[in-house]
Amino acid sequence: MKSIFYTVSLTLLLFGPLAYAQDQMLTKEEAIDLVLENNLDIQVARNTKLIDDNNADILNSGYLPSVTGNASGSIDKQNSEGVLANGDTRTAEGAETRRYNAAVNVNYTLFDGLGRYYNYKSFKERSQQSELEVRQTIENTILQLFTVYYEAARLTENTATLEQALEISKDRLKRAQYQFEFGQNTGLDVLNAEVDINTDSINLLNSRQQLRNTMRDLNLILNRELSSQFSADTTVNFVPELQMESMFNEAQLNNVRLQIVEKDLNMGLNDIRVAKSGYLPTIGLTGTYGWNESNNNSPLAFVLQNTSTGVTGTVNLTWNLFDGGSTITGIKNAKIAYKNQEIAKKQIKLEVERDIRNAWDSYTNALYVLEVQEKNLQTNQNNFNRTDERYKLGQVTSIEFRQAQLNLLNAELAKSQAKYNAKLAELQMLQISGQLLNVDF
């Protein structure tokens, strides 16, 4: 039995410093700054938004003209023979003709049935929706961050509580050994104390291991070295004076899922208008500035060199009177898609209402459990203090003392769990109501 105790104690001596190698506190504010700067999911969401911003730029709108340039040159060598009006015959051996031309063309669509106008509006809506998606990613990431952060804080408290429990068990072992040496108890009390020390030591080892694992999980979210050491702030502050109706109203206005689906509706309406633009004509403008030059050394040629420059402008109108029904089909499909988006909005609205009411119930229940656990902790603390005094006087057995110690330990762990459960329930409610990014943590 003693060999087991010394083995566990040696293990604690080796692994204990690892759990407390943190030399600085990682505050909640610092954690938020790090996750906003380094988190990979947030970086991807922001890059996606940059793409949508580029698509919504005037350069992708179709409102600017297209300008093209082209040039060519050719050389032609021919043997030719010609008869003049007076009957003379002339020949040209290897007569060479050189031709050069260059032109700049400008094409501009004056009117396309408002198709590009509504496409451009859809790009703007998509850019705004992408910004909302960045916010959604940030909200989800921050909630994930604090789920892990508060778990690290809870394990930090648990580890300290288990260390305290181990110290109590060690003191009990010393007391039992002294009493055994003076013949005040049997060796059974010493063995029981050693068994309890082993149990407390193993629990402490497991808690320290869980804490190290949780710290690595948090470092992964923060996108920094997994071996980075820190200590978590165990202080929890609740947002005061939250009201159910206020949270419900805020959710209807600010919930990010509702705002995203609203952008889908706007883009769906623009898709219908784009499809209808197929009924209208397209008016285009084309302009060309050209240069042409031709050189001919043939004795049969009337002109040896010819150069011309000029500007050409054309206005054209195209009206697709019937396209085989593709425009009609496109309009029908766009309207059906819009109806589906309206259905999706109704579904999401119901889900948000359910989620906010469930979150409120979970929050209020968690606060009540926390209050009960705090009272339970106080009761068990008083009971342990009295039991400890009576144990020193020999009025209670070691088994009764151990039970009072375990009751206190369980009450401390339960109170710590209830505290962080209540805070996470509050954060989930704030996220659903769209207020997560507007509060202090």
Domain segments of the chain as ranges: 115-281+325-433
User: 3-class secondary structure for 304-343?
Assistant: CEEEEEEEEEEEEEECCCCCCCHHHHHHHHHHHHHHHHHH
How many angstroms from the chain centroid is the CA of residue 200? 41
The phi and psi torsions of 298 (rounded to 5 degrees) equal -75, 135
Question: To which H or E segment does residue 127 belong?
Answer: helix 115-181
**What is the spatial distance between Cα 146 and Cα 153, in angstroms, rounded to a whole number?**
10
Residues 6 or more apart in contact with residue 408 via CB below 8 angstroms: 377, 380, 381, 383, 384
Global model pTM greater than 0.85: yes
Q: What is the CATH number of domain 115-281+325-433?
A: 1.20.1600.10
Contact predicate 430/242, CB 8 Å: no
Amino acid at 26: L
pLDDT value of residue 293 = 80
Contact predicate 176/398, CB 8 Å: yes
Contact predicate 65/259, CB 8 Å: no
The pLDDT tens digits along the chain (441 residues) read 343 334 344 444 444 444 444 458 999 999 999 999 999 999 999 999 999 999 999 999 999 999 999 999 888 777 666 666 676 676 767 667 788 899 999 999 999 999 999 999 999 999 999 999 999 999 999 999 999 999 999 999 999 999 999 999 999 999 888 877 777 777 888 899 999 999 999 999 999 999 999 999 999 999 999 999 999 999 999 999 889 999 999 999 999 999 999 999 999 999 999 999 999 999 999 999 988 887 766 555 555 667 888 899 999 999 999 999 999 999 999 999 999 999 999 999 999 999 999 999 999 999 999 999 999 999 999 999 999 999 888 898 889 999 999 999 999 999 999 999 999 999 999 999 999 999 887
Contact predicate 91/81, CB 8 Å: yes
Tokens of 229: 């050491």
pLDDT value of residue 18 = 42
